Amino acid sequence: MDCPGVLAVPLGSVVVFTPISHNQIVRLYSRFTSLDKGGNGFLSREDFLRIPELAINPLGDRIVHAFFTESNDETVNFRQFMRVLARFRPTKTNSNKNKLNTREEKLKFAFRMYDLDGDDRISKDELLAVLHMMVGANISEEQLGSIADRTILEADKDGDEQISFEEFVSAMERVDVEQKMSIRFLH
């Protein structure tokens, strides 16, 4: 039975609340095992690169990196795979059990896509690097620099020429990240 909403998934001695339904977990496990070419219950970075949705996403490498940040290892098990994917479900306003799928967690995840060096600040160089990933050679260096400068100018409230997480949250105030951060194969 497919029950939308929050599902409690027992993982060892811990219960993880996930907005992924039972049928979706079964489908994700099937997808996970099909990607697990070694058949050892773990995915490598190369395994992730075989996911077509990530292969065509300009930020695919950054998204894959997020899976390995979560695992602190060179491989990802199914529990870690699900924890990251849970952030990509639309947020259910009537449930606050799922701590992975809150607006704040989604914003932290998005912030980490830009914070390339992990110092909890987005510099102009990091912003430029991500913009390059997203648009490639479709925009001139001058235009990219102008976009980065304007973004820093608008978001940077303390004048340090970098964007902190708090400044990022403020800049994203009108963006509906709860619904927009999704991955098609979970639907």
What is the per-residue pLDDT across 95-121, written as a single tens digit (0 to 9) for each?
545 566 788 888 988 898 899 999 999
Rounded CA-CA distance 150/165 in Å is 18
Domains of the chain plus CATH, in order, are 7-89 (1.10.238.10), 103-171 (1.10.238.10)
Q: Look at residue 3 in the predicted model and tell me its pLDDT.
A: 36
Cβ atoms of 127 and 115 closer than 8 Å:
no
Q: How many CA atoms lie within 13 A of 109 on its CB side?
A: 28
| Predicted model pTM | 0.72
Element (H, E) at 15: strand 14-18
Q: How many CA atoms lie within 13 A of 121 on its CB side?
A: 12
Q: Look at residue 6 in the predicted model and tell me its pLDDT.
A: 40
Asked if pLDDT for residue 1 goes beyond 50, the answer is no
Nearest to 4, CA basis, from 109, 98, 106, 99: 98
Which two tokens mark 104? 């704040």
Angle between helices 124-135 and 141-155 (to 10 degrees): 130
* Residues 118-138 pLDDT 10s: 999 999 999 999 999 888 778
First to last CA, the chain: 15
Residues contacting 172, CB < 8 A, separation 6+? 107, 110
Task: Find where tokens 């390995």 sit.
Answer: 68
Report the percentage of the chain scoring pLDDT > 90. 31
Q: Look at residue 13 in the predicted model and tell me its pLDDT.
A: 39
pLDDT band at 183 (very low <50, low <70, confident <90, very high): low
Considering only 4-13, 17-26, 123-132, 159-168, which range has the smallest mean pLDDT? 4-13
pLDDT band at 184 (very low <50, low <70, confident <90, very high): low
156 or 185, which is more confident: 156
Cβ atoms of 92 and 116 closer than 8 Å:
no
Nearest to 122, CA basis, from 74, 71, 163: 163
Cβ atoms of 125 and 45 closer than 8 Å:
no
pLDDT band at 50 (very low <50, low <70, confident <90, very high): confident
Rounded CA-CA distance 69/63 in Å is 10
Q: Look at residue 146 in the predicted model and tell me its pLDDT.
A: 94
CA dihedral sign, ordered 100, 102, 103, 104 = negative
